[in-house]
């Protein structure tokens, strides 16, 4: 497998919501490439198009224009079912609101991933236990999301994102529910994971304090992506 097979390349990504007078151009002409093993942050104010961009990179949202190639696959050409498969096999999402399934325990939320791939077995159960252990929430394995603190929920969400050993790890606003100290800690462990397992890591945030452990920073404003004028 060549090096570029493991990269992410986005070319001239555009997303327009709605049409006519009410059309919103959430992302305009965004291009970026991220190598495997690299952890990149995209920083920008609220409403600048971060979540929209991340959703397009992860095959959750179809772009209005441009294309995304991940690990050699042009996901802009995939149909809905193929994109779903791409997400469950190659992408790990940590959503802004964590989005844990409320009626499943922490452990079962991790097991959703093998379950939707039809691969729920003893090995996957062991992996879930292992991840919860590493993330320090093993004791909470049998608790429902409603019984967990914000930080614990986030760690469960990260565990879930890593369950399928994804090539692409996407993190949306890791700190919005946390104090900044814990947030930095989470970013550091994600950055380590990306390095160690040669993943493609992309985090979007409005919080500049989160940028300490990243390899590279991009800025987004009004849907336009650009490199920062000065390093942080």
Ligand X SMILES: Nc1ncnc2c1ncn2[C@@H]1O[C@H](COP(=O)(O)OP(=O)(O)O)[C@@H](O)[C@H]1O
51 binds Mg ion (CB under 5 A): yes
Residue 99's binding partner out of another protein, Mg ion, ligand X, none, with CB under 5 to 8 Å set by partner kind: another protein
Rounded distance between C-alpha atoms, residue 160 and residue 129, angstroms? 11
**Binding segment toward ligand X, per CB under 6 A, in 30-38, 39-47, 62-70, 183-191:** 39-47
Contacting residues for 113 by C-beta, under 8 A, at least 6 apart: 88, 124, 160, 163, 164
**Binding segment toward another protein, per CB under 8 A, in 27-35, 105-113, 187-195, 199-207:** 105-113
205 binds Mg ion (CB under 5 A): no
Rounded distance between C-alpha atoms, residue 2 and residue 158, angstroms? 28
Cα–Cα separations (whole angstroms), residue 21 to 16, 18, 24, 26: 12, 9, 9, 14
Q: Among 8, 10, 13, 26, which residue interacts with ligand X (rule: CB under 6 A)?
A: 26
Q: Among 40, 42, 50, 95, which residue interacts with another protein (rule: CB under 8 A)?
A: 95
50 binds ligand X (CB under 6 A): yes
Binding residues for another protein, rule: CB under 8 A, are 51-52, 55, 60-61, 81, 84-89, 91, 93, 95-97, 99-105, 108, 111-113, 115-118, 120, 144, 160, 172
């Amino acid at each position: 497998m060549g090096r570029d097979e493991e990269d992410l390349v986005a070319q001239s990504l555009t997303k327009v919501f709605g049409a006519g007078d009410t059309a919103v151009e959430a992302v305009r002409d965004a291009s970026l490439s991220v190598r495997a093993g690299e952890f990149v942050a995209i920083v920008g104010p609220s409403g600048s198009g971060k979540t929209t961009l991340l959703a397009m990179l992860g095959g959750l949202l179809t772009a209005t224009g441009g294309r995304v190639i991940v690990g050699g696959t042009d996901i802009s050409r995939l149909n809905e079912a193929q994109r779903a498969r791409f997400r469950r096999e190659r992408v790990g999402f940590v959503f802004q609101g964590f989005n844990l399934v409320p009626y499943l325990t922490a452990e079962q939320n991790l097991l959703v991933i093998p379950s939707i791939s039809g691969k729920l077995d003893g090995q996957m159960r062991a992996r879930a236990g292992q991840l919860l252990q590493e993330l320090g929430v093993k004791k909470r394995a049998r608790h429902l999301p409603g019984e967990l603190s914000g930080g614990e929920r986030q760690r469960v969400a990260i565990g879930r994102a890593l369950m399928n050993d994804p090539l692409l790890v996407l993190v949306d606003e890791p700190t919005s529910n946390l104090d900044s100290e814990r947030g930095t800690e989470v970013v550091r462990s994600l950055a380590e994971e990306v390095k160690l397992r040669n993943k493609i890591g992309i985090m979007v945030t409005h919080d500049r304090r989160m940028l300490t452990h990243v390899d590279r920073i991009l800025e987004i404003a009004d849907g336009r992506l650009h490199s920062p004028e000065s390093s942080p």
